[in-house]
Structure 1
Amino acid sequence: MLRAVENSASVVVCSACRLSADQREDSEGRRGGALLVDAMRGLQAQEPAYEAIAVQDMPCLFACQRHCTVHVRGPGKVGYVLGDFTPDADAARAILDYALRHAASEEGVVRYAEWPQGVKGHFIVRTPPEGFVCT
């Protein structure tokens, strides 16, 4: 059930997530999460700065009331689950831009003023790093 991945700055994308609140998949039968993974990896191929963030996919993050859900995480850092994205290049860029700021932060806390516009309103939950709770 578990697959080892690099323990680094990463975005885990729910590859089974719905396309939208109203649609499960697109006309070709592809889920929104899979499209978002493709968009993120496509941006990484075009822009080397994004290669610093591992894009990892898994079949379910159990946020099934939402669509296009991701988990931004890094070793020893507060993590964040975000959702309700449109699976396109704009969302992919906003998520990766936020993930770069998250990776550069000491504890995973990015000042609101530094959040890309495309992630505002998409936060669902924050997760403390293993062995810690937030104060």
Structure 2
Amino acid sequence: MLRRAGDGPSVVVCTTCRLSTDHREDGEGQRGGALLSRALREAQAADPAYAGIGVEDMPCLFACTRHCAVHIRAPGKMGYVLGGFTPGPDAARALLDYAARHAASEEGVVRYADWPEGVKGHFIVRVPPEGFVVS
């Protein structure tokens, strides 16, 4: 069931997430999470600034009440689960911008003033890195 992921910073995308509160899929049968994953990969391919951020797919992050959920993580840093996105280029750029700032931070804590506008209001939970808690 588990498979090895990349060792560096990444955005883990729930590929089975709903498209919206009211719809599971778009008109072509694509789930919102799969569309968000595609948008993240397209944004990453279009901008070399995102090359160091992995995009990893997995089914179900168990954040079903906040469709289009992702987990932003990096080794030894605080991680974050965000949701409630509309899949597309704007959400993808905001997530990758935040992930790049997260990766560049010392402990995975990005100052609110440095958050891209597109991630504000989307945070669900923060996850301490293995072996640590926040003091």
One-letter amino acid of the structure 2 residue matched with residue 5 of structure 1: A
Q: Distance in 1 between matches of 2:117 and 2:81?
A: 16
Tell me, yes or no, if structure 1 residue 6 matches structure 2 residue 6: yes
Please give the per-residue CA displacement for 1:75-125, whole angstroms capped at 9, x wherever unaligned. 000000000000010000000000000000000000000000000000000
Q: Distance in 2 between matches of 1:72 and 1:36?
A: 14
Q: Distance in 2 between matches of 1:9 and 1:58?
A: 16
Q: CA deviation at 1:38?
A: 0.3
SS of 1:124's partner is strand
Please, which runs of 5 or more residues in structure 2 have no aligned partner? none
TM-score computed with the length of structure 1 as normaliser? 0.99
The residue aligned with 2:20 is 20
One-letter amino acid of the structure 1 residue matched with residue 37 of structure 2: V
SS of 1:125's partner is strand
Residue correspondences, number: 135
The residue aligned with 1:102 is 102
The residue aligned with 1:125 is 125
Question: Where does 1:83-94 land on structure 2 (aligned, <5 Å)?
Answer: 83-94=83-94
TM-score computed with the length of structure 2 as normaliser? 0.99
4+ residue segments displaced more than 2 Å: none
Q: CA deviation at 1:65?
A: 1.4
Q: Distance in 2 between matches of 1:116 and 1:46?
A: 18
The residue aligned with 1:74 is 74
SS of 1:126's partner is strand
Q: Distance in 2 between matches of 1:121 and 1:66?
A: 11
Please, which runs of 5 or more residues in structure 1 have no aligned partner? none
